[in-house]
Structure 1
Amino acid sequence: MKRIVVLVLAALLSFTLFAQALSEKPESTVVASTAWTAAFADIAGVDNVDFIAPATMTHPPEYEITISDVQKINNAEYFLYAGYEVMMKSMGTTIKKDESALIHIQTNNSIENVR
């Protein structure tokens, strides 16, 4: 009986620790304008890249930025963008980042660019 109780307690404890680890999502230090620009960061080896425009949009560069998006960008260490996004025109002075934290990338999928 003691053995069963110990096994059940061990299982519950491990489940609790596992569930806690799943809920602790690391804060992303890199935010990208679209899933496409986030993919380039992923290829470069950056983990946990968040993106602003929903990946389900037919044309993500037309996404209009929201206040929560601005907060997400301001809280990130770096922001990746391609330059053709509508949001880049509407952001204006709301983004409180140094130029070195705003990273403009080329998003064509040529082999030379992806290397």
Structure 2
Amino acid sequence: MEDVNVPSPNPFITDWLRGPICRSMMFESAELYEALYREIVAKRTGRLARSTHVSTGLERGRWVGILTVGDSGAYYAASHEYGTGRTNPDQALPAAHDLNTILNMMAAL
């Protein structure tokens, strides 16, 4: 058995996490999350489902997928996701937690 000197941090892994293949994988993953969100979100007008946008960005030296909800006029996306939190329970709207539902769905696979 030979001892192999693997440097830490490993330059190959660092380059791969910043490379085009990893970026493509993160974008495809975010598109899957977007499709799941569009499927389960409440659709009265469909504006909230259509308001999603997928992108990628670098965070802490690696590519991440970013799902943005609320673009293009769906200004109520935050109140739908987190609830209104009003002090009057008759007027308060409950939180939908659709984004957490999607994360739980993907974790179960």
How high is the TM-score relative to the length of structure 1?
0.24
Structure (1/2) with the larger helix percentage: 1
